[in-house]
Amino acid sequence: MRMNKRWLSYIPVTLAVLVAIAVGFIDAQNHPITHIFTAESLKSMQSLNYKYRMSVSDLGTSGLSIMPELIKADVLLPGLTAPRENTGLIVTFDDFDGMLLLQPEKKLTESELAQVASEYNADIPEFSNIEPDQEVALESPFYDFGIFAARESSVDLSSTESDANDAVRVAVIDSGVDETHEIFADTHFGTGWNAIDEDTSMYDDVGHGTHIAGIIAVSAPEAQIFPYKIVDANGGRLSNVLSALSRAISDEVDVINTSFGLSSPSYALEEMVNRAYDDGIIIVSAAGNSGKDVDFFPASYDKTIAVAGVDAGDHKMTNSNFGNFVDVAAYGYHVRSSLPDNRYGYKSGTSQATAFVSAAVAKMLSAAGLDASETGEPADKMTFEEVLSTLQGGSEKIPDGELAGMAVVKVE
C-alpha cells in the first residue's frame, strides 16, 4: 500500500509533539506546578512580599510543592534570607496540605505582625489560616525530691542487638541525638532531618534528645530511631516542628515521640498531627511539666497519646500536668539515660515518661508484625485507637490524686 507523501510529512511533527508531551509529563512529576493561586493573588503576594521584605519557604507537603508556582510567578525576593530570630507567619491552606513560612527581614512587634497577617489574609483568599511562628519549648527536666523513692534506673542500660529489617520506625523530634554514644552501639538510625540548619547533622547541644533517644533505644531495641532536630541551644520555633513532622511523615515512620510542646494552640500543628494520623502514624506527646490542669500542645489534640508522669509508687509527679486531655501515665522520675559525649545523667519529667510510652508502642507494633509473619498472614498495622485502647487497658492504675484510675504504661 502506497502512503500519501503529504501524510508522511506529518510524522516528524507528530513524533515531536508526543516527545514534548512525554517530557512535559516527566517534568511535571519532578517539578509539579500546582496552580493554587489566581493571578490576582500572586500579584498581591508579590506586592506584600516586597513591601515587608518577606522571605518565603516551604514547610513541607505530601507530594506537590507550592514553590515552583511562586518562583514561576516571580513573587519571591531573590537572595533574601531573613534572620532566624525574627518571628514570622505560618500559612496553611484548606484545599492543599502544603504550608508556608513568611519571615520578615525586619523584626516586627506582635501588633505589627498581626497587621501584616491581616493584609495577607485579606488580599490572598487561598491562605486559609495565618498564625505567628511561636516559640517551642522542650520539656525541661525537673527534680522532685519528695517522700517517694526513685527508681535508680527503670531500664537495663546494656544495649541489645536488633535488626533494621522491618524494624518499627520511631521518630524522635527533639534537640538532635549524639549517635556516637555507646548506648547506641547496636541501635539502627534512620537519616532524619535537622530543621534548624536544613541538613542531616544531628549534633545535640542541649542534651535532651540524646536522653530521650537513649530511653527508647534501650527499652525497645527492636526500634529504628529517626532523629529530627527542632531545637538547639538558641531555642526553636513551631516552623521547625512542622518541617520535622512533614519529613517524618514522608519518611513513613510508625511512631513519633514529641517530648516538647506549645502553651498556645496552633492550627498548623493540629493539621500536621491529623495528617500523621491519616497516614497511620502514632504520635506520643508529653503532657507538660507545669503541675496544672492546663492544655499543652500537641498533647491536647485528639489524635495524640498524651502522657503524664508518675514516680516509683505510681503517684503523679508533682510537676506533671493533668486533666481530661491526658490519656495514660508512665514512670518519669529520676531516669538515668544517655547524654552527649558518652555521658549519663538523671532527668525527670513527662518527657521521660513519653519516651517510655513510645518504646511500649514500638514493642507493641513490632510484636503485632511478628505474630502476623509467624502465621503467614499479612500484617495489619494497629490503628491509633487500637494502640490507645491497649495502653489504657493495662492492669496497673494510679491509686489516687488527679490521675486516679489512669493506666500506668510499663515497658515489658
What secondary structure letter does DSSP report for 142?
-
Query: Which of the following is catalytic: 208, 211, 315, 334?
Result: 208
Nearest to 268 by CA among 302, 298, 307: 298
| 174 given a catalytic annotation | yes
Q: What is the secondary structure of 177-236 as a DSSP string? A: --TTSGGGTT-EE---EETTTTBS----SSSHHHHHHHHHHHH-TTEEEEEEE--BTTBE
Q: Look up 400 and say whether it is catalytic.
A: no
Q: Which of 239, 300, 348, 351 is catalytic?
A: 351
**Catalytic residue (choose from 174, 178, 311, 327):** 174
Closest CA relative to residue 304, chosen from 218, 212, 391, 388: 388
Under 8 Å between Cβ of 408 and 400: no
Among candidates 157, 209, 165, 219, which has minimal Cα distance to 188?
165
Check if 334 is active-site: no
Q: What angle do CA 341, 334, 315 make, to 5 degrees?
A: 155
Tell me how far apart the alpha carbons of residues 404 and 393 are, in angstroms, rounded to a whole number: 14
> 75: closest CA among 42, 115, 103, 108?
42
Return the sign of the alpha-carbon dihedral for residues 85, 89, 92, 97.
negative
Active site residues: 174, 208, 351
